[in-house]
Structure 1
Amino acid sequence: MTSQAKAYAAQSASTPLAPFSFERRDLLPDDVSIDILFCGVCHSDLHTARSEWDGTIFPCVPGHEIVGRVSAVGDEVNNFAVGDLVGVGCMVDSCGHCPSCKESEEQFCETTGFVGTYNGPDNVLGGHTFGGYSDHIVVKQGFVLKIGHDEKDLAAVAPLLCAGITTYSPLKHWGAGPGKKVGIVGIGGLGHMGIKIAAAMGAHVVAFTTSPAKIEDAKKLGAHEVIVSRNADEMAAHANSFDFILDTVAASHDLDALTGLLKRDGTLTLVGVPEHAHPSPNVFNLVFKRRSIAGSLIGGIAETQEMLDFCHQHGLVADIEMIDMQEIEGAYDRMVKSDVKYRFVIDMASLKA
């Protein structure tokens, strides 16, 4: 027994997303069925739908920043009830028994890899998973998250399920907090949440932008200082001073200018995934100050819940622009031009049209 879902899907890399119907699985004993209210639009959605990353399986229904209301639960579900406000992020399953999964780091699952909310293997129905650009979704309860924010903020909560955890996890892991000077590179969907979260953690936050026009915006988001990265004098004034820099830029760029700003033992962590590799970094920049270049990938389910609770406690949500499902192609085109402050979110009620 299955349920029919209405959605928007890409049928190929070169065709626009269009209405699509498919089958969701019937509830298993530990499943939660969720009526999707809002779904954020991540740059990963565009990369996948347009096959800019390897491995896209068509038809592709993107969407992994999902907020909705529980409509039904399986017989063994004990953490959720009908009517609860919940979220689903970038993954819907993992092996559950490898060292990473046992340590609540399911995003690093060592056996099968995590199962993506879309474009991952569907271990129940076969084929591949379909994401949040749809009217409902069925997810095992271990990958469903509780949302404590007010209902009026739900649309702006949706991007926390990817942009929020992608920045929260490295900021926490590398110890952002009082007494630490933290840089956030790029003021977009990820970067604007990085600024908000780092400031709420108590760090001294410095935003990096290539655009002087974004200086005031960065300060409104919580940055204490803003560096225009194309200004050599501004960059030089901060040499050897950062404990940690989070680089959210998803385009290939020179990392040496950033590693040179780190203190001894400082870390530059990359969360943006460029289409083409970054130029090789200068090794001398690293060895003479014991600096590190690292990477980070979303966060585990427990840490994602922790992030949502932290954001609720501190009154943090994303800055969003709401769109109808039918406007997705225009949103993708604007996203390529960085013409959004700072995250598109789809009102899934528009699917009924």
Structure 2
Amino acid sequence: MGKAVNVDWSKLGFGYMKTDFRYVSMWKDGQWDEGKLVEDNRLTLSEASTALHYGQQCFEGLKAYRRKDGQIQLFRPDQNAKRMNSSCRRILMPEIPEEKFVDACIQVVKANEDYVPPYGTGATLYLRPFMIGVGDNLGVKPAPEYLFCVFCVPVGPYFKGGLAPVNFTVAEYDRAAPYGTGAAKVGGNYAGSLLPHELAVKKGFADCIYLDPATHRKIEEVGAANFFGITRDDKFVTPKSPSILPSITKYSLMHIAKEYLGMEVEERDVFIDRLDEFKEAGACGTAAVITPIGGIEYKGNLHIFYSETEVGPVTRKLYDTLCGIQFGDVEAPEGWTVKVK
């Protein structure tokens, strides 16, 4: 490692910290410029930018991991590039070439290598690529120019005392509309989730569960994460719906469940009144990898899965295998990891 950075790896949470470099690229006159690394973490944009008025923006989240041998690797950045382009198509922003996206991530990690936490701390370097519509624009229409950026922040392990179950309550609010932007990673989805999240926390829960907006009978998302359940006959089940954000962690867990643990995998409807078909349940996403679900409150009743205090054995195996792949301790499927140097 190069210079010593003044970071206490053991005290890291999920909070912002200015690192040395970020990547910036502009799209104008129908094309992207070359892009460059800059030290300034402030953006200057027109007051009439579509990102500020009409929500024309999207983002991604992925991590860089330090392996036991000191090398650094990214986990499936091509999938984040694909998902970002899917979000861009949904809100009429220009796509970012996959190679450019991955190269930007690699450049940012290399330039901030000293901020990649040491192996064994459980901490990682979180990358936040985002795109915003900028320029002088008043009418409701796509922006004339776009800004693509990638910045990074070291973040701690999600569970400080090790993997631990938490409880959730079913929200009265919808996260997305049928045929809306639920499957795109756009800021508006998150702005709309702030109030239901706060209400859930006030009731003593970790977050809320969103049901499908059309019938309110099926589980869609758990806060800002995807749901999965382990049935009594050891099937890995996760909801299927056009308004769920396609989690890269979820699809990775589906592959691991099938190929590494020999389980059957089903993407299908998960009815809120049929929770007793699952012996274990969890939420999955980039930040926590897996959040084990202790129980779900629905209509005043708390349904407990495996335990409110202990993590189920299948959930733990899934977590250990995925983390093992991400940190380079378990052999990864072809193309899942990208070495930074």
TM-score under structure 1 normalisation? 0.29
Query: 1 or 2, which has the higher helix percentage?
Result: 1
TM-score under structure 2 normalisation? 0.30
